[in-house]
Amino acid sequence: MNFIFGMIVLALTIIAVRVIWTTLWQTLTFLKSAIRRIQLKMAQRNLKSISPVTMPCLPAQADWDIMAESVRYEIQRRNTGLDREANRLDAQLQAKLKTLELIKADIQIAKLEQELQKVRPAVLVQVPEAKKRKRTKASEPVVSGENVSTVPHQVHQLRAALKGGAVKVDNANGIVRH
């Protein structure tokens, strides 16, 4: 009986050793092929980056115009993504430049409004006199703030300008007119 158990144990041991040996052999073969593939890919990358592209010999006469067109088409096809990106960035740049111009224009308008406030004469206030039946043409205006000498016919124009009516400026002598 011991002989039979010994033979069974020996057979199982042989089978186990063969299974382990086969598994190790397959693993070793897989690792060797994987290392070869990695080395081959790395060698191809190095060759592509170092060596110039060479065209193989053509068996027959080639039509160079067709080949040139196909190369141009391929270049344009590959560059379309870059063109879209460039157009998008150009549009963004133009929008930002327009915004910058609008901001500069707003600043200029604010400066001009500030200068206009400085140049505008102070509000003319007339002193009410005692009740008179006749109005006098030469009433004395009182100026608050600054001493500005005014001509009687300009008083009405200044009042209209301060109220915000339509005003035209004569460039020749600077007279405000309606």
Alpha-carbon gap, residue 176 to 178, rounded angstroms = 7
Residue 9 has pLDDT above 60, yes or no: yes
CB 152 within 8 A of CB 138: yes
Read off the pLDDT of residues 66-122 as tens digits, 9 standing for 90 and up: 888 888 888 887 777 777 788 888 899 999 999 999 999 999 999 999 888 888 765
pTM greater than 0.75 (yes/no): no
For position 88, what pLDDT does the model report? 86
- Helix/strand/coil for 143: strand
**Which amino acid is present at 152?**
P
For position 145, what pLDDT does the model report? 47
For residue 163, give both structure tokens. 């109220």
Alpha-carbon gap, residue 111 to 115, rounded angstroms = 6
State the first-to-last Cα distance of the chain, in angstroms, to the nearest integer.
135
Read off the pLDDT of residues 34-71 as tens digits, 9 standing for 90 and up: 999 999 888 888 776 665 556 667 666 777 788 888 88
Alpha-carbon gap, residue 25 to 17, rounded angstroms = 12
